[in-house]
Amino acid sequence: EAALDVAPDLARAHFLLGTALKTLGQYDEALAHLQAAHEQYPRDRVVLGQIGRIQFLDRRFDEAIVTFQEVLLVDPEDLNAHYNLMLSLQGSGRPEDAARERALYERFKADESAQAITGDFRRASPEDNNERQPIHEHGAVEDDAAP
């Protein structure tokens, strides 16, 4: 709230306050702040996801369905959007559509058993483990041909 006093249009402050208010169950006020952030960043899938989650928690399933479909237009593999869309479709009485979303959710969900299977190899090979990280660094390469 103090940040919004200084900069009333600061999208990040609206997002964070909206997320905090969601946790407190103050859905209408949370939605107002998240909508303010959404107006500045209409393709931000995280903001849209929070809006959809509030709609779901408030049992506004049809609105949540539309919102999660918007998230999937931005990122068709968004795991949280598929999961929450599945729940919203189920809540809306559309079990066949919910089953389709469940299949997509399971397709994009990380295979936790694969982590255990590859664990020994990754521990024995730090370079290969580094390469599999989504964000990683490469060390400097020494030139053997230099004098």
Q: What is the pLDDT of residue 70?
A: 96
Cβ neighbors of 49 (< 8 A, separation 6 or more) are 68, 71, 78, 80, 81, 84
Identity of the amino acid at 93: G
* Angle, alpha carbons 51-109-71 (nearest 5°): 25
The predicted-structure confidence for 59-78, as pLDDT tens digits, reads as follows 999 999 999 999 999 999 89
pTM of the full structure: 0.73
The predicted-structure confidence for 24-40, as pLDDT tens digits, reads as follows 999 999 999 999 999 99
